[in-house]
Amino acid sequence: MTKTVAVWLCLALSAAALSAQTPTPGRYQAPVVSDTGGLKGPRQPIFFRHDIHAGQDQIPCMYCHATVAVASEPGIPALQTCIGCHQLISGSTPSHQAEIKKVRDAWRERKAPEWTRIHALPGFVRFPHQRHIKALGTQACTKCHGDVQTMPQVYQVSTLRMGWCVSCHQQNKVSRDCTVCHY
Amino acid sequence: MADGMTRVTYDYVTRTIARTLGNPGRGYFLLLGAAVALLAIGIVTLLFLLRYGLGLAGYSHPVYWAVFITCFVFWVGIAHSGTLISAILFLFRSGWRTAVYRTAEAMTVFAVMTAGLFPLIHIGRQWYFYWLIPYPNERGLWPNFKSPLIWDEFAIGTYFTVSTVFLIMGLIPDIAAVRDLATGWRKKLYTLCSVGWRGTNEEWRHYTRGYLYLAALATPLVLSVHSVVSWDFAMAIVPGWHATIFAPYFVAGAIYSGCAMVITLLVPIRKLFQLEELITVKHFENLSKLCLLTGSIVGYAYVCEYFIAWFSGNPTERAAFWYRAFGPYWWATWTMLICNAFLPLLLWVKKIRTNLTALFVISIFVNIGMWFERYVIIVVSLAGEPHTPWTNAVYNPTWADWGIMAGSFGWFFMWFLLFVKNFPAVSIAEVKEVLAPPKRVAAKGGAHA
Amino acid sequence: MTDGPNSIDRRRFLKVLGVTGAGAAAISACGIGPEPTEKLIPYLIPPEDQIPGTATYYASTCRECAAGCGIHVRVREGRAVKIEGNPESPINSGRLCARGQAAPQGVYNPDRVTGPMVRNTAGGFDSITWDDAISRVQGKLTAARGHGIVFLTGADASSFGDLVDDWMRQVGGRRVSYEAFGFDALRAGNRLAFGTAAVPSYDFANAKYVLSFGADFLDTWLSPVSFQNGFSRAHAFDGSRDGSMAKFVFVGPRMSLTGMNADEWVAALPGTEGVLALAMAQVIVSRRLAAVPTDAGRLAALLADHTPAKVAAITGLDEKLIVRLATEFAAAKGGLAVAGGMAAQYANGADIVAAVNILNYVAGAVGKLVKFGPDLAVGETGTFSDFARLTADMAGGRVALLFVHGTNPAHSLPGAFTQGLAKVGYKVSFASFMDETAAAADLILPDLHPLEQWNDSRPRAGIYALQQPTMQPVFPETRQSGDVVLKIMGRPGTYRDHLQGRWRELQRRFGAGKSFEQFWMDALQHGGVYGDAPARPVRLAEGASRIAPAPAAPTGGDQTVVVFPHPVLHDGRGANKPWLQELPDPVSKIAWHGWVEVHPETAKRWDLATGDFLLLKSAFGAVKAPVWITASVRPDVLAVPTGHGHAAYGRYAKDRSFNAFELLGADANAYGGRTFAVGATATKTGEHRKIVTTEGSARERGEGSVETLTLARAKSLGAADHPFHHEETPEYAKESVEWWGERQFEQAELGNYAGEQPRWGLAVDLSKCTGCSACVTACYAENNLATVGEELMMRGREMSWLRLERYWLTDAEGHPQGAVNSPMMCQQCGNAPCEPVCPVYAAYHTPDGLNGQVYNRCVGTRYCSNNCPYKVRYFNWYNYAERGGEWEAWPEPLSMLLNPDVTVRERGVMEKCTFCVQRIRGAQNKARLEDRNVRDGEIVPACAQSCPSEAIVFGDLHDRNSEVYKLAGNPRGYHVLAGLNTKPAVTYLARVVSNG
C-alpha cells in the first residue's frame, strides 16, 4: 500500500525533475557545484544535494524524513526510498550521474551508505521532533536546520546548545522546566 | 620573669627572631620531608578518586557524607582561634597575644586553605565544581542560594581573603626588619613583600589605623564563618543535625580546637627556635585558660544536646542520641566525650596548666577529640538515621578516606613549616610594643610584671 | 567490545538500532556527556512496523516458567527493551512477575552460546557449521537406533514438545520431560482422592477463606502471577465490599513469601499437614458445619481416627486451634484449601494432598473453587520416577543418544545424573547457555531465546498462547530448535510453517469463519486464542478412604532440612541474570547468595550468629551454608533455598554460594515424586561470611513507615475518618508553612509554575502488596538501573530506586504471624527536603509536582540524600557503564536492553525514582499530537504496570475524578513520616490484619 503510493510519487517527482532541466522562472535553481572541497559542512559518502532535492525539485522534507511529525526522531530515509526515484532518474550531468551510480551500487551490494552525522544531541537530552512540528508547522524545519533547501552540502547552522534551546522556549513562552528535556 | 624581661631588649628580640630564619637544621628537614610525603599520599589517592570515582572511599548508603566532610569541618574549626587571638585579643589590647598571634594567624590561613580543598574533593563530579560558583552563562542557570552549601562557599571564601590580607599586613614591618638583615634571594623576596616599608612615623600611623580597622573587620568572621558551616547541618532535617544550638556550639568548638592546635604547634616551635624568652609559660597558660573556657562551653553543649533530645520527647531525636551513645559507634562518641569534655578539666590544675609536656599531650587529645566530634555528628547521625531504620548501615572508612586525610595534614604542615622558616614566626614589632623602652628598664620592669 | 566471529559487532548493532539520537544514549553507554553516534546507518528497507524513536509492542508468551503468562514485548529500533504483561491473557491479565521481567537479560545475556559447537579431543569445544552439526546428529541417530534414544525436555506443553514426541516415535526413542520442582504429589494426591491425575485450576479470586498447606502460590507454585492476582482480589480490604477480606491461614514449617502474607501462620510439624487437614474435615463432618456430600460417608472410618485430640498430639498444635480453624473454614462458605510446595514434597506428600482434597471436598470447595476441566498443563509433565528411570538407564549404559532441551538436570540432580551422563554414548544439548548439562554434552546446538523464536504453549486447557520472534536473533549463529529438529527429521519447511500447520486445526475450532491469515494475525495480535475448557465434576475415588497421611520422620540425621525453591532464581535457571541475583529475597532480603534459615532458639543453642557457616550433611550429600537467624522458621527445622551453587552457566551464576540440591536423594519416593525434606546433621564449621541483606536496622518495626489496622477497626471507618492523619505543624505556623510550601516555586523564573498543572501521585495499598518484588525488577528494566554486584551491595551501593521494606507482624508472644511489605520509592514530596539543599538546582520541583532530578546538572554533593528522610536517593559511586570497567553492569550485549528513553547515569551523580517521567512525557507528547489532555490511567509507571496484585495506582491528584485521587482520600490512607510535613505524593493504604 505505502509502496504503491511511493512509486506514484516517484513518477510525479521524476517528471518534475525532468522538467527542471529547463529552468522555469521564479523557481529556485540549484547552482552548479564545481569545487565540492570548498563547500561548508562535512563531506558525505555520497554527494547528496539537499538544494536540488528540497530546493529545486521542491520535494517536501517529510517525504524522506517521514516520521518527523509523529515521532521524536525524524528518521533517516532508507536506501529503498532513494532507489524508489533513482531507478528512473539517473541524473543530467556526468557529476550527478556519478553520484547516483553510487546509490545504485550501494543498493545492489545491499550496503547502506554511512552518512556522517551533523545534528547530534548529547545522550541526556530528549528532543521530541513531533512536538515541535506540531507547534511550529511542517515548514518549521528551517528554524533549526537552516535553509537546507539551498545547501549543496548540509552543515550545522544552530549551536544546538542549551542556551539556544532556552532562548527559543523563552520567546515562545513555553515551558522551561528541566524535565521537559532532561530525564 | 622580671629579670627575664630585662634581658629581653629590642635588639635581643630582633636577633632572636631573625635567627629563626637562619639555616634550618636536620630536624626541620625531617619534619618538612614527612609533611611532603603525607601530601604525596594524598595526591596519589586523589588521582585514584578522579579516575575511578568516590566508590573507593568507604561511603555506604545512607552515609553519604563521611571522613572528607569531617576533615573539612575539622580544618575550618582549627582556623578559628587564629583570628580570635590576632583580631579579638588585639581589640581587647591583651598584651600576651603579641608573641603567639603570628603563628596562630599563619595557622588560620593554611587551615582554611586545607579545608577549602575538601568540598572540591568530596563531590561526585569534581570537574564541574565551578557550577557552584555564580557566573553568567547562556543557560541562564544560577546556583541555588537557598542551599547552605552556597552560603558555605561564600563564608569560607571571605574568611580566606580577610585572614590572608590580615596576615600579610601584619607581616610588613617585620619583613622590613629582616629585609635589612637578609642577603641574596631572600633579600629580594623581603624587599618585595615589605612594599618599601621604611618605618617612618607617617607609615606607622597609617599602618596601625589600617591594622585596627582590619582587626575590626575580621572579628565578626570568627563568629559568622563557623556558624554558617554549622548550618550545613542545622538546616537539614537529620535528627542530630537539626538543632538551634549548632551555631554557638560549633563556634566554641572551633576556637577550642584552634587553641589546642596553636599549643600543639607552638610547643615544638618554641623548642626548635629557642624562643623560650619570648614565648613564655605565661602565654601557654593563657592559651590553656582559653581552652578551658571554650572546652567547658563545648561540654555544656554536649549536655544540652542530650538533655533536649530527652526533654523534647521526640522519638526520633531520642533514638538518634541513644544510637550515638550506645549504637555501633559508641567508641567514637565516647572518644569525643572523654577527649573534649573530661580530659581538659585537668587544666584547672595550675601545675598541669604550666607544664608544657602535659599541655602538649592534652592539646593533642583535644585535636583528636574535636575530629571525632565532627565524625560523630556527620557519620553517626547519618548511619543511624532514625526516620527510616530500614536503611541503617554501618560505615567503615577505607584507604581512600585515610589517604586524603593524611594528604590534608601533609598539605597543612608543609605550608606551615615553610612559613616559619621564611617569615618571622613571632611578630618582631608587636613584641617590642609590649616591652619596656630600653631606657627605663629597671624602673618599669617590676611594675610591668 | 569483543570481536569474536559471533560477537555482536557495532555496525550490525547500529543497523538494528536504526540510529536515533535517543538510541545513541543507550549504545554510547555513558548517557551523560555528549557521546552521540558519529555515523548514521540507514536501513536498506524500512521495517513496516517500526518508527524510529517510537516503541512497537509484540504480543507473545513468557517462557521463564511453565505458567505461560501472556506478554507484550516493547521493541525499540528492533531491540526488545522491556516486557510487560498482556492484559488480554486470562492467565496473568496484564501482570508479570520478576522472573518474567528479567527475560531480556536472557536474550542479551553475555554468556549465551553463540553458535553450534562440538567437543574436541582436548575436552574443549570447537565451533562448527550448522550443516556439519546436523549431519553429525543424523549420523549418530542411525547408529543409535535401538540402543536407546532419549529426548529430555523441561515442562514443554507446546507444538515443539509435540514435534519432539513425533520425532522420538519415528526414531524409536522416547521423550522424558522433567521439572526440578515437579508436581507429582499434587497429581498423585488427586488420583488418590478423585481418581484423576490432572492438576485443576484454583479460583482464588472468589475464595472467602484461603488455607494453604505449604503451597507457595504467590511465588513458585503452579501459576504464581494469576494466583497472586486472584488472591489479592479476595484478600484485599475493600470498604465497600463488606467482609471482603478473605482470611488467609498458612500451614507450614517456614514462612515463605506466601506464608508472609498470611493473617495467621500455623507452624505445624513438617509432614503433619495431612493429618491436620483430616482433623479439620473430621470437625466439619462431625459437627455438620457444611453441606457434606453424601458419598463422604465413606470417609467415616478415616476421619474417626483423625479427631482433633489425636491430631493435636501428632502436629504439636493446640486442639482448640484445630477446631477453630475448621469452624472458620466452614463458616466462611467458600473456603479454599490448597496443598503443595513444601507440604507436597515430603515422602507422604501425595497423601497430604489427598487429605487436603478431602477437606476441600467436605467443605464443598471442589467444583466451585477447585475446578477440574480447565486443567493446568504442568500436569502433563513427566513424573520424577520416569526421570529416575532415565538416570538408571543412563547409568546402565542403556542410552546411546541423549538430547537435552530447556532443562538442566546436571544442576538439580548433581550426583546421579552427572554420573549417568558419563555413560551416555552421545549427548546433544540445545541449551542457549553453557549450563552444567550443556558443559557435559558432546554437541551443542544453541536454541534461540523465546523472545526470538516462534512457538506456542498450552498453559491451561482451552488456552493456546502464541510466541513470536520480537527481534532479530542477537547471535545470528543460533537457531531455533524447532527448525533444527525438522531439518534432522528431513522434513521440509520451517518450524513456523509447521506451527501454522497445527494452528489451521485450531482455526477450524475457534476460527469462526475467519480466513486462516485473518485468524493467524488476530492470534498474533492478542497473543493467542483464549477459550475455556468445560468444568468436569469429580467424585471421591475408591482409595480415598485408605489414605495414610501420617508423617514419616525423615531419616539420616537429627535435623529436618527442607529444601525450597528460591522465589526468583527458582531451581537455578534465573541464576545468571544479574537483575534476579541482585533482587533481595522477599523474605530474607538476602541477595547474591544462599542461606540456611535457623530459628533464634536453635541459633542460641548452637551459638550461631548470622553469617556463620553450618555444614549440613544428609545421606546423599553435604553443603556449607551461611546462617540467617529468623523466627520465620520452626525451631526444629532448617530451611535452605535452591538456585545457587552453579558449577557453570555463566559469570553471574558460576561458583556462587552452594547448591542445595546436593542434599537431596535421586530416587523417586512412594508416589513417584522427589522428597525435598531430608534428615541431616548440622555442624558449625567456624567459618563466617558477611551475607548481603538490604534489611538495615535490627529494629524490625518501621517507625511511621507502615501502618496496620485490625479488620474490625477498618470496617468501622467511615468515609470521613482519617485515623492516620497526623499533622505536626502547629496552628500558628500552618499558614506560613503552607504559604512557603506552595509559593516557593512560583517565584522560580524557570519553568511555568503558575496556571493549571497536574500533581502526579501514587497510591499503594499495603493490603494488596505481597512483597513479591516484581515491581523492583520492573523498575530496573525500565529505568536502566545498574546492578552493582555482591561486593558493592555489601557496602550499601545497590541502586534499587524501589525497595520493599518487610516488617514482621508479631502476635502477643512476639512470634511472627506474617509481614507487612511496603514498597518505598521517592515520595515526590510537595515540600521536599532534598530540593532546597541542592546547590545547583539538580534536585528541584517540577511544575507538575515531581521532585525533578536533572542528572546532567548534578555535581554530586549528595546533600539531597542526607536530607531525604525516606533515604530513597542513590548515588553512582562508579561508572557502571564503563566498557570493560571493573563494575560494568551491562557487558556486551547486555547493554542492548538499555531503555533509550532514559539517560544512562554517569559516575558521580545522584539518581532516584522519577515516577517514570519518561512515560509521563511520552503520554503528554502523544496527547498533545491528538489535541487532548492525558487521560486518567493512560500513564502507568513500570512498577504499577507489573504489580501482580494491582496494589499500585498512578494518576493526577488534581483530577477530582482520577482513581488515585479517590484512593488518596481513602480512610486507610496515610503518608509515611507525615509528621515531617514533607507532603508526599505517595499515599499508602494501611494493611488490614484479620487475625482472630
- Residues 6 or more apart whose CB falls under 8 angstroms from that of C232 comprise C768, C770, C948, C949, C950, C951
Please state, for a pLDDT cut of 90, what percent of chain C lies above it: 74
Rounded mean pLDDT, A97-102? 93
Q: Which residues of A touch B140 (CB under 8 A)?
A: 163, 166
The pLDDT assigned to C826 comes to 97
Which of C903, C926, C932 to probe the A interface (max A CBs under 10 A)? C903
Is any Cβ of chain A less than 8 angstroms from the Cβ of C750?
Answer: yes
B239 touches chain C (CB under 8 A): no
To the nearest whole Å, the CA of B144 is away from the closest chain A CA by 15
Hey, is the C-beta of A162 within 8 angstroms of any chain C C-beta?
Answer: no
Q: What ipTM did this prediction achieve?
A: 0.91
Residue ranges of C 467-526 with Cβ closer than 8 A to chain A: none
Q: At what angle do helices C495-510 and C481-489 cross, to 10 degrees?
A: 100
The least confident of C19-28, C85-94, C272-281, C798-807 is C19-28
Higher pLDDT, B1 or C918: C918
Helix (H/G/I), strand (E/B), else coil: A5: helix
Of C30, C48, C852, the CB nearest to A178: C852
Alpha helices in B53-147 (DSSP H): 67-83, 89-91, 101-122
C758 near A CB under 8 A: no
- Give the closest residue to C768 by CA, choosing from C956, C581, C943, C565: C943
Average pLDDT over residues A157-163: 92
CB contact under 8 A, A166 and B139: yes
Chain B residues with beta carbon closer than 8 angstroms to that of C869 = 237, 385, 387-388
B137: which chain A residues are within 8 Å (Cβ-Cβ)?
163
Counting as contact any 3 or more CB pairs under 8 A, the partners of A are B, C
Amino acid in position C123: G
CB contact under 8 A, C856 and A126: no
| Chain B touched by C304 (CB under 8 Å) | no
C-contacting residues in B 100-129 (Cβ below 8 Å): 119, 122-126, 128-129
Contacts of A179 in chain C (CB under 8 A): 846, 850, 852, 854, 914, 917, 921
Alpha-carbon span C845 to C832, nearest angstrom: 8
pLDDT at C29: 34
The residues with which C993 forms a beta bridge, in sequence order, are: C710
Would you call A164 and B138 a contact, using CB atoms and an 8 Å cutoff? Answer: yes
- Strands C991-993, C708-710: pairing is parallel
pLDDT at C762: 95
Contacts of B385 in chain C (CB under 8 A): 869, 871
> How does pLDDT run across C409-449, given as a tens digit for each residue?
999 998 889 999 999 999 999 999 999 999 999 999 999 99
Report the largest interatomic distance among the alpha carbons of chain C, rounded to a whole angstrom.
93
Torsions phi, psi of C530, nearest 5? -115, 95
Contact A177 C852 (CB under 8 A): yes
Does residue C726 sit in helix, strand or coil?
coil
Instruction: Chain C: give the shortest CA distance to residue A183, in Å.
Output: 6
**CB-neighbour burial class of residue B363 (10 A; exposed 0-12, middle 13-18, buried 19+):** buried
Section C885-906 average pLDDT:
92
Distance from CA of A179 to the nearest CA of B (A): 15
**Residue B422, min C-alpha distance to chain C (Å):** 38
Residue A106 pLDDT exceeds 80: yes
A72 touches chain C (CB under 8 A): yes
Q: Which residues of C touch A72 (CB under 8 A)?
A: 20, 22, 53-54, 925
Chain C contact for A80, CB < 8 A? yes
Q: Å from B3 to nearest chain C CA?
A: 58
Residues of B in contact with A162 (CB under 8 A): 138-139
Measure in Å the smallest separation between the Cα of A118 and chain B Cα atoms. 22
E-strand stretches of C462-592: 463-467, 528-530, 559-564
Nearest CA-CA distance, residue A53 and chain B, Å: 36
What pLDDT was estimated at residue C34? 35
Hey, are the CB atoms on A164 and B137 less than 8 Å from each other? no
- CB pair distance less than 8 Å for B124 and C805: no
Q: Does B52 touch chain C (CB under 8 A)?
A: yes
Reply yes or no on whether the pLDDT at C830 is more than 60: yes
* Confidence band, pLDDT 50/70/90 cuts, at residue B431: confident
Q: What integer pLDDT is reported at residue B4 of this predicted model? A: 45
* Residues in a beta bridge with C61: C70
Q: Which of residues 571-590 of C touch A (CB under 8 A)?
A: none
Higher pLDDT, C345 or C653: C653
CB contact under 8 A, C46 and A78: yes
> Tens digit of pLDDT for each residue in C685-727?
999 999 999 887 655 445 568 888 888 888 888 888 888 876 6
- Nearest residue on chain A to B138, alpha-carbon basis: A163
Give percent above pLDDT 70 in chain B.
Answer: 95
**Given the DSSP bridges, would you call strands C370-371 and C201-202 parallel, antiparallel or unpaired?**
antiparallel
Q: Which residues contact A178 (CB under 8 A, 6 or more apart)?
A: C750, C751, C841, C844, C846, C852, C854, C857
Interface of B with A in 139-178 (CB under 8 A): 139-140
Give the closest of C30, C36, C857 to A120, CB-based.
C36
Residues sharing a CB contact under 8 Å with residue C622, sequence separation 6 or more, in sequence order: C615, C616, C662, C663
Cα of A163 to nearest chain B Cα, Å:
4
By C-alpha distance, the chain B residue nearest A166 is B139
Per the listing, cell 572523654 goes with B338
Q: Is residue B289 very low, low, confident or very high in pLDDT (cuts 50, 70, 90)?
A: very high
- Residue C44: closest C-alpha in chain A: A79
Q: Which residues in chain B (351-390) have CB-CB distances under 8 A to chain C?
A: 382, 385-390
Q: What integer best gives the mean pLDDT of chain B?
A: 89
**SS3 label, residue C254:** strand
* pLDDT score at C744: 59
Chain A, 122 to 151: residues with Cβ < 8 Å from chain C are 122-131, 134
Report, as an integer, the average pLDDT of B286-315. 92
| Per-residue confidence (pLDDT) for residue C743, from 0 to 100 | 65
pLDDT tens, residue by residue, C934-962: 999 999 999 999 999 999 999 999 999 99
Collect all residues of chain B within an 8 Å Cβ-Cβ radius of residue A161. 138
Interface of C with B in 685-744 (CB under 8 A): 695-697, 699, 702-705
**Which residue of C lies nearest to A118 if distances are taken between CA atoms?**
C38
Q: Does C915 touch chain A (CB under 8 A)?
A: no
CA distance B138 to chain A (A): 5
The whole-number pLDDT of residue C919 equals: 96
How many CA atoms lie less than 13 Å away from C56 in the CB half-sphere? 17
- Percent of chain A beyond pLDDT 70? 86
Residue numbers in C near A129 (CB within 8 A): 53
Which member of C696, C839, C977 has the closest CB to residue B144? C839
Chain A partners of C942 at a C-beta cutoff of 8 Å?
none
Q: Tell me which residue in B58, B153, B385 faces C871 most closely, judged by beta carbons.
A: B385
In angstroms, the CA C272 to CA C277 distance is 9
Per-residue pLDDT tens over the stretch C213-258: 999 999 999 999 999 999 999 999 876 555 578 999 999 999 999 9
pLDDT for the residue numbered C753: 62
Q: pLDDT tens across C716-770, in order?
A: 888 888 888 766 677 787 787 777 666 655 555 455 565 678 999 999 999 999 9
Q: CA quadruple B320, B322, B327, B333: dihedral positive or negative?
A: positive
Q: How many alpha carbons lie under 13 Å from residue A125 in its C-beta half-sphere?
A: 17
Nearest residue to C456 (alpha-carbon basis) of C500, C492, C518: C500
Task: State the average pLDDT over residues A48-77.
Answer: 91
Name which of B102-106, B270-274, C589-593 the model is least confident about. B270-274
pLDDT at C2: 32
pLDDT value, residue C11: 38
Considering only alpha carbons, which residue of chain A is nearest residue B141?
A163
The helix (run of H) or strand (run of E) holding residue C763 is strand C760-765
Return the pLDDT at C407: 94
